[in-house]
Chain A
Amino acid sequence: MIKLKNYSVSDILNNIDFEFEPGKKYVIMGSNGIGKSTLLHSIMGRPDLVTSGDITFMGSDISDLPTDQRARLGLFLAFQNPTSIPGLSNFQMLKQAMKMKGADIGENLRKFKEHSSKLKLPSDWDKRNVNYDASGGEKKKNELIQLQMLSKKVAMLDEPDSGLDVDGIKSLINTLNEWHNDHNTLIVVTHYEKLIEGIAPDTVLVLKKDEIVSGDQTLASTIFSKGFDSV
């Protein structure tokens, strides 16, 4: 799905060779400041990040594509700290992003409300704006609604658990597992053991200075018991 070859980002990540495959779930771990978020944002094409090496998405070179085009190809990133746009309600954002028209609007609003009620968001969540009176956890849940509504091939989530309550973590795990299928790719950055257990990733990646260590879920268990230096 996404193939990185000899891929470097600014002065933060160097010479990464890795392929994220369709139908697979990945968890990315690593100590603070090592570049986990940077990796996700560089895949998304954030304009201030300078990259070198190759990055392909479904076989095509995307290194020159701006963020919006990468998004339209099927990449999605749930932010660690979602930005909100004043004056735009949570549903309007999706309405615009999906260019909904006519009857689609009602049907999508129904879906939106279904998702938001599952996530235990307030009943008028569609009309609210994440800018105002939304807690950190609610903002993260809103990103999950976006993921479910927008049809995407790759979901990258940057610490989606932070700020979520116990029930929120459960619905996060359910949401991600429901979303994932044989054709799409899930990539989650997290430090949270329960979330990793819930997702049951095929691969755990540990970002280290100048190298990437990959393994199965036992790699995560080792880190939780012995720390990053043990791997």
Chain B
Amino acid sequence: MSLENFGSDIYKEGFVTELESETFPVGLNEDIVRRISSLKNEPSWMLDFRLKAFKRWQQMPEPDWSELEYIPVNYQELSYYSSPKIRDKDDIPQEILDTFEKLGVPLHERDALLGIETDKKSDNIIPTVAVDAVFDSVSVATTFKAELEKHGVIFCSISEAVQTHPELVKKYLGTVVPYTDNYFATLNSAVFSDGTFCYIPKGVRCPMELNTYFRINARNTGQFERTLIIAEDDSYVSYLEGCTAPAYDENTLHAAVVELVAHDRAEIKYSTVQNWYPGDENGVGGVYNFVTKRAMCKGKNSKVSWTQVETGSAVTWKYPSCILKGEGSIGEFYSVAVTKGKQQADTGTKMIHLGKNTKSTIISKGISFGNSTNTYRGSVKINPGATNATNYTKCDSLMLQDSRALTLPYIKSNNSTAKVEHEASAGKISEEQMYYLATRGFDEDDAMNLVVNGFCKDVFQKLPLEFAAEANKLLNVTLEGAVG
């Protein structure tokens, strides 16, 4: 099989935006942490949080237990802050607007009124999606804030939330992922730049989908976003995130922290399409995606669903997880992870059952091509108090060429009433299927798409409509030229 068309030419988001920016010199020390905090005009409690984390981080060893092999990050050779020069929020540089337009991210509110003719008056129209656009270390625009405010929904950058809603940030930040949690989360707690803050008040069903788009542009910088979503009793929100980066020869570090809190009967649906630059066909460049994502299902009958489609990044190391604390709370994880070329992924989830009658579902689909390694690592833990907890796990992998797929499920049950089910399968795309599709007129690329899309269907069904189309497109682009 040839990999002729395979490589960075397929990664259409690999362009660089030339613009004036303010970038910190490389290196990390307490001063840098203080400078980030002061640039953002943070209150002292926020600075203290950062400094505590930084102290802690300096004493921590870098973890090495994953299945991943990568050139270690030199933390002193990274820049920890890069911001495009923006005079004020209403004057976003044209280059940035163009960048997001090129990426298909609607920053003008009118453009975001999808499917609605623009010449009609838009007063009474409820848009489908609100966007927070993060460019390197700063959020450059957030749309439909006023519309959302009418419903009491707060959707803004986390830097802004620290200023405008300090009591909420202070109450929840670090409660799901403590600053001591792990090496990368601790580093993030010290130097996090920007990210999204969402707050859905009691009884409110968020009237539109909230979307954050992360764009890394600067060379040699780390990106450390922090996202915090709080859903009060009886509320609902669907949040989407997407991300891309230029095709640089150096590796870029992306170490984000995402914390979700769901109160009584609240539901958070969190969908990710991860398309960071994967590096070229020889494994040069690409993003290290070392992310800590965790949800606290705090309230009774609360629910959190993680849905992810992972096609990018040179190295992915993350486990979006749920702590099922509230009685009857539900955690779900639906994942499609595609690796090709020299990509490596060690990803999965943790479901920690603390409350009675808690329920979790894990569906993971791994697809690997080329010389890539695709590892599913999952942990299901039933604590003694989790009477009648149930878990269902299904891990399927599809392998091609010389790729490697590993499935590493860890299950620990400390309650005899718990019910835990695990199914796993691993296989290659069958010649029989490819031939059958050929007899129906499908060429090799289309046949591969059909087989892979069919394989991923259980997960794609869980994505919001628009996102499903995008995920599909992305998957097709990813598969382009992967067989030959």
**Contact residues of A with B, CB < 8 Å?**
44-48, 66-68, 71-72, 76-77, 79, 82-83, 85-88, 93, 96-97, 146, 150
B435, B442, B454: which contacts A97 (Cβ < 8 A)?
Answer: B442
Complex Cα distance, B432 from A229, in Å, reads 34
Bound CA span A71–B446, Å: 14
Q: Which of A45, A66, A79, A86 has the most CB of B within 10 A?
A: A86
CB distance from B2 to the nearest CB of A (A): 15
- Bound CA span A99–B157, Å: 43
Query: Which residues of chain B are within 8 angstroms of A87 by Cβ–Cβ distance?
Result: 453-458
- Contacts known (A88-B450, A88-B454, A96-B446); A83 close to B433, Cβ less than 8 A: yes
Besides the known contacts A47-B431, A68-B447, A97-B440, 6 further A-B residue pairs in the complex with CB atoms under 8 A apart: A71-B439, A86-B454, A87-B453, A87-B454, A87-B458, A93-B440
Alpha-carbon distance between A15 and B458 when the two chains are bound, in angstroms? 49
For B, the interface residue count at a CB cutoff of 8 angstroms equals 24
Contact of B441 among A48, A68, A79, A83 (CB under 8 A): A68
Q: Is B438 an interface residue (CB 8 A)?
A: yes
Closest to B458 in A: A87
Measured between beta carbons, the chain B residues less than 8 angstroms from A47 are: 431, 435
Within the complex, the shortest CB–CB distance from A69 to chain B, in Å, comes to 8
- The answer on a CB contact under 8 Å between A79 and B436 is yes
How far, in Å, is A159 (CB) from chain B's closest CB? 16
Determine which residue in B432, B441, B450 has the highest number of CB atoms from chain A within 10 A of its CB, and name it. B441
CB contact list, B289-328 vs A, under 8 A: none
Contact A83 B440 (CB under 8 A): no
Q: A83-B433, A85-B454, A86-B455 are in contact. Are A96 and B442 (CB under 8 A)?
A: yes
Chain A residues with CB under 8 A of B241:
none
Q: Is B77 an interface residue (CB 8 A)?
A: no
- The residues of B that contact A77 with a CB separation of less than 8 Å are 439
Cβ contact within 8 Å between A85 and B450: yes
Determine if B148 is an interface residue (Cβ-Cβ < 8 Å). no
The reply to whether the CB of B28 lies closer than 8 angstroms to some CB of chain A is no
Least distance between B68 CB and chain A CB atoms (Å): 30
**Alpha-carbon gap, A66 to B443, bound state (A):** 9
Cβ contact within 8 Å between B438 and A71? yes
A-B contact pairs, 22 of them (CB 8 A): A44-B439, A48-B431, A67-B435, A67-B439, A68-B437, A68-B441, A68-B447, A77-B439, A83-B432, A83-B436, A85-B433, A85-B436, A85-B437, A85-B450, A85-B451, A87-B456, A87-B457, A88-B450, A96-B442, A96-B446, A96-B450, A97-B442
Q: Is chain B's interface secondary structure helix, strand, loop, or mixed overall?
A: helix
Q: Which of B430, B450, B454 has the most CB of A within 10 A?
A: B454
Q: B444 at the A/B interface (Cβ < 8 Å)?
A: yes
Closest CB-CB distance, A22 to chain B, in whole Å? 21
Chain A nearest CB: distance from B63 CB in Å?
A: 36
Give the A-B contact count at a CB cut-off of 8 A. 61
**Closest CB of chain A to B443's CB: distance in Å?**
5
Which residue from chain A places its CB closest to the CB of B449 in the assembled complex? A96
- Closest-by-CB residue of A relative to B457 is A87
A71 B456 Cβ-Cβ under 8 A: no
Main DSSP-derived SS at the A contact region: loop
A68 x B436 contact (CB < 8 A):
no
- Give the contacting residue for A68; candidates B430, B442, B455; CB below 8 A: B442
The CA of A68 and the CA of B439, in the complex, are separated in Å by 6
Alpha-carbon distance A48/B441, docked complex (angstroms): 18
CA distance A88 to B455 in the complex (A): 9
Of B432, B441, B450, the residue contacting A72 (CB under 8 A) is B441
CB-nearest residue of chain B to A81 = B432
A68 touches B450 (CB 8 A): no
Distance in Å from the Cβ of A121 to the closest Cβ of chain B?
A: 19
Residues facing A in B400-453 (CB within 8 A) are: 430-433, 435-444, 446-447, 450-451, 453
| Contact partners of B458 in chain A: CB under 8 A | 87
Note all chain A residues with C-beta closer than 8 A to B451. Answer: 85
What residue of chain A has the Cβ atom nearest to residue B460's Cβ? A87
Given contacts A77-B439, A83-B433, contact A68 B444 (CB under 8 A): yes
Residues of B within 8 A of A96 (CB): 442, 446, 450
Known: A85-B433, A86-B455, A87-B457. A71 touches B440 (CB 8 A): yes
**Shortest Cβ distance from A46 into B: residue:** B435
Closest CB of chain B to A188's CB: distance in Å?
16
The contact string, 1 if C-beta is below 8 Å from chain A, for chain B 249-274, is: 00000000000000000000000000
Q: Which 10 A-B pairs have the closest CB atoms?
A: A87-B454, A87-B457, A67-B438, A83-B436, A71-B441, A68-B438, A88-B454, A97-B440, A86-B454, A72-B441
In angstroms, Cα B437 to Cα A79, docked, is 12
The one of B436, B442, B444 that contacts A82, using a Cβ cutoff of 8 Å: B436
A82 to B440, CA, bound (A): 12
- A146 surroundings in chain B (CB, below 8 A): 440
User: Closest approach, in angstroms, between the C-beta of A62 and any C-beta of chain B?
Assistant: 14
Distance of B99 from chain A, by nearest CB (Å): 32
Please report the C-alpha to C-alpha distance between residue A77 and residue B438 in the assembled complex, in whole angstroms: 11
> Shortest CB–CB separation between residue B435 and chain A, in angstroms?
6
Asked if A150 and B436 make an inter-chain contact with CB atoms under 8 angstroms apart, the answer reads: no
> B336 CB to closest chain A CB, in angstroms?
12
Q: What is the chain B residue whose CB lies nearest that of A73?
A: B441
Contact A68 B443, CB 8 Å, known A87-B453, A88-B454: yes
Interface string of B187-212 (1 = CB under 8 A from A): 00000000000000000000000000
Contacts of A76 in B (CB 8 A): 439
CA distance A82 to B436 in the complex (A): 8
Bound together, the chains give a CA A150 to CA B436 distance in angstroms of 15
Closest A residue by C-beta to B440: A97
Complex alpha-carbon distance, A146 and B442, angstroms:
14
**What's the least CB distance linking A148 to chain B, in Å?**
14
Residues of B within 8 A of A85 (CB): 433, 436-437, 450-451, 454
